[in-house]
Amino acid sequence: MTASKLQRDGKAGVRFFWQQMLIVAFITVLGGMQSAAASVDKLASYEEMLALTSQLAALKPQIPASSAAALEYETAANRYLDLSLAMGGDDPGQILHAVVPSEVRPSTPKPNGALPLGCNTTTSTFQNATAVAIPTGPGVVTSTIVVAGASPYLLDLNLTTQIQHTFAGDLDVTLTSPAGTVVTLTSDNGAGNDDVFNGTVWDDSANPAGQVPYTTNNGLVTDHAYVNLTTATPLVPEEAMGAFIGEDPNGTWTLTLSDDAAGDGGNLNGWSLDVTTLPNAPITATVPTQTQSTPVAIPTGPGVVTSTIVVAGAGTAILDVNATTFIQHTFAADLDVTLTSPAGTVVTLTSDNGAGNDNVFNGTVWDDSANPAGQVPYTTNNGLVTDHAYVNLTLASPLVPEEAMAAFIGEDPNGTWTLTISDDVAGDGGNLASWSLDIDTFTCASADLSITKTDGVSNPAAGQSVIYTITASNAGPTAAAASTVTDAFPPPLAACAWTCAGAGGGTCSAAGAGNINDIVNLPSGGSITYTATCAIPASTAAGTVIANTATVTAPVGIPDPVPGNNSATDTDTTVVSADLAISKTDGVTSVVAGDVLT
């Protein structure tokens, strides 16, 4: 492209030139990428890329008025791209993301896993259609949405933005909840492309695939193959919106946009929130920490290794997953690491982060909620893997992974989890010493079952019968079909027979003999009552204690929040039996007045 063309078309010409250079770079560089990677001086490359970053930032505002600045900018950008390709896609200056055309694929979101019994969610949409100008930077603007009338437990949040802005890489965007939690949607992504976030749906579950090794990973805001004037959607945000889970969504949500460089501006034309809630906090259970302690060598790249953990005996629906990695590796940016669930969902923990520092992930806890602050404008944002200020031989922990682990919500955690590590450049290797998973599961079902039992006496006599009244009830809130009522009548009770009747929708077996072991239906507010008659043999010794216990048990998958009232015992003590009788006669049936009766 000629200088006159660049000067005439300004930034459009710059972008076209850059795109042509990108294609040329892949034709000339990608084929020999492995040999280039084998010989690249990574530390020197990083230093040069950071120097180029400063040069590009200084040149960018000059482009509209200077063809010389435009040519100098494109020369520097092309050099930066060549270095990025040789480094396996590293982008330390967050200037652009190298695109491999063969890796580009549609971004297809997945729904959350099937929710447990009783988890009745409600999704409501709230929006702000008032336009807000985004001035040529540096500058910060905000827009708010007030959520009202939603249920108090946030389970999932999606966001849609209508942002028209030239040079998307200028934008840093955060979302702040009413509780004050700040989540970064994007910081310096999208390179020089225009309007790529104009209609973007931000969704933690937008990219269920994307297994390493990759250079391009559509659906992940940090690794998407952006195209000028083409909306990138859906996208997983740079920081997990899973950090909002459990908060009350009612109140003011704030979208903050920081334009961190001069020369480009735009408009926020509107935005909206899709809020999915539960009426109450779910019942959670913590799975014991699952650890894989068998070391795995990470060879000098390019190469891929895996390690697995098998989870068994956990609940059936994931609410939260944290992972811990002990990775010893020089030049952390060589590493691309993913976690794959038993259902096959792939989440990227890190790709090309950590620069040339060693062992920064040696003990890292990966947690969607690791960075509740971090409001723009910022340059570094500790706790966010993509923006952390790494220090050589210093553990970076905890970190929000590059892709949200909230993508696992609702999935069954039982089965094989796989940690995949790709070392994408030669010259450095390492070791995965161990890794572990901390998983919380949840259910929303809850049935407060209870049972009472009495025979109305304390000291029955041998030779008599006792009549027990046994009532099982469900105080809710969840129906408990297929609950079980049991009563093993202890000796000396004999010849027991019983009948049963329900109330409030409760059902049970109509009658039976011997012990009770009955599958019953107890809707919320329902009950069933057994009337059981048992004989006490005449031979029973006085002072015999008869302790008779009845129990009600909820079906599998429906916890009982008050288990202490799930059994009831009636205790009696027998007394001596005496067959007393009396008779009386005077020997006559009629008398005359004046007779004496004896």
CATH architecture label of 285-443 = Sandwich (2.60)
Query: Which residues make beta-bridge pairs with 318?
Result: 441
Place of tokens 């009232």: 565
Domains 285-443 and 447-573 share a fold: no
Angstrom distances, CA of residue 593 to CA of 14, 403, 584, 589: 143, 115, 21, 13
What is the number of other CB atoms lying within 10 angstroms of the CB of residue 281?
A: 11
Domain 447-573: which CATH class?
mainly beta
d(CA 335, CA 402): 13
Query: Which residues make beta-bridge pairs with 220?
Result: 236
Q: Considering only CA atoms, give the Rg of the chain.
A: 36
Domain 122-278: which CATH class?
mainly beta
Angstrom distances, CA of residue 553 to CA of 86, 453, 558: 63, 15, 10
d(CA 276, CA 274): 7
Angstrom distances, CA of residue 533 to CA of 1, 370, 553: 100, 62, 23
Query: Which residues make beta-bridge pairs with 532?
Result: 468, 498
Residue 410's nearest CA partner among 447, 444, 368 is: 444
Q: What is the DSSP string of 536-559?
A: --TTPPTT-EEEEEEEEEPPTT--
- Domain positions in the chain are 3-87, 122-278, 285-443, 447-573
Phi, psi of 152 (to 5 degrees): -85, -5
d(CA 590, CA 598): 13
In SS3 terms, 383-411 reads as CECCCCCCCCCCCCCCEECCCCHHHHCCC
Residue 588 has what pLDDT?
A: 76
Q: What is the DSSP string of 296-321?
A: EEE-SSSEEEEEEEEE-S--SSEEEE
Strand ranges in 393-508 using DSSP code E only, listed in sequence order: 415-423, 430-443, 447-454, 465-477, 480-487, 494-503
d(CA 571, CA 460): 11
Place of tokens 């009629």: 590
Supply angle C-alpha 402, 406, 410, rounded to 5.
150
Give, for all 598 residues of the chain, the pLDDT tens digit. 222 222 323 444 444 433 443 433 333 333 333 333 334 687 788 789 889 888 887 887 787 788 898 899 889 888 888 887 777 676 777 665 666 666 666 666 666 667 887 788 999 999 999 999 999 889 999 999 999 999 999 999 999 999 999 989 899 999 999 999 999 999 999 988 999 999 999 999 999 999 999 988 999 999 999 999 999 999 999 999 999 999 999 999 999 999 988 888 999 999 999 999 999 899 899 999 999 999 999 998 899 999 999 999 999 999 999 999 999 999 999 999 999 999 999 999 999 999 889 999 999 999 999 999 999 999 899 999 999 999 999 999 999 999 999 999 999 999 999 999 999 888 899 999 999 999 999 998 889 999 999 999 999 999 999 999 999 999 998 899 999 999 999 999 999 999 999 999 999 999 999 999 999 999 999 999 999 999 999 999 999 999 999 999 999 878 888 999 999 999 999 997 656 677 777 777 777 777 676 6
Residue 347's nearest CA partner among 373, 326, 371, 318 is: 318
| Residue 3: both structure tokens together | 């200088």
The C-alpha torsion from 439 through 440 and 443 to 446, rounded to 10°, is 140
DSSP-derived letter for residue 413 is -
Query: Which residues make beta-bridge pairs with 162?
Result: 198, 270
d(CA 131, CA 267): 7
Residue 5 has what pLDDT?
A: 25
